[in-house]
Amino acid sequence: MKFKISWPTGIILALSAFIIFILSFVYKATFMQEYDHHLVSDDYYKDELNYQQEIDKLNKSAALKEDVTLTKVAEGLLIKFPAEFDPEKITGTISFQRPSNDKIDFQLPIKLTTANYLISNNNLVEGRWNVKIEWTINGNTYLFKEKLMY
């Protein structure tokens, strides 16, 4: 017994199969937890309004004689602040943002006795991090950003 499909039936079957294929991807992207999509920032539009101030802070830190440096050491991540400032007068925050998983993002206050700040290995997992260091000294606010592979 031969099974014969006419060309209109073949077109309808091919289109139906294609539509089911596309809808399965739409379902996965919308409802499955493993394909969770999120913005980098929850307050994206508010952050965009403050972007010029961020550029000004980046330019201030670029004009310094010495920049902030990040070095991976055995104990963790060593952050070295510019030597031209008194470390005890530096205040601010260090933010670590993981692009692949916002649940492990964290923020630390800056409280220094020396120009070095050590973040232990317990806080950081291997992979890519966006590091943002914002510090204030003598009424001036500086900003340092770097993408880090830890």
Where do the structural domains in the chain lie, given as residue ranges?
A: 1-37, 44-149
Pick the CATH number of 44-149 from 2.60.40.10, 3.40.630.40, 3.40.640.10, 3.40.50.2300: 2.60.40.10
pLDDT (tens digit per residue) in 103-129:
888 999 998 888 898 988 888 888 899
User: Residue 13 above 90 pLDDT?
Assistant: yes
Query: 3-state DSSP call for residue 140?
Result: strand
35 or 5, greater pLDDT: 5
Burial of 29 (0-12, 13-18, 19+ CB in 10 A): exposed
User: Residue 36 above 70 pLDDT?
Assistant: no
| Residue 123 identity | N
Percent of the chain whose predicted confidence (pLDDT) is above 90: 33
User: Residue 14 above 90 pLDDT?
Assistant: yes
C-beta separation of 83 from 47 below 8 A: no
C-beta separation of 57 from 71 below 8 A: no
User: Residue 15 above 70 pLDDT?
Assistant: yes
Q: Which of 63, 80, 15, 54 is nearest to 143 (CA)?
A: 54
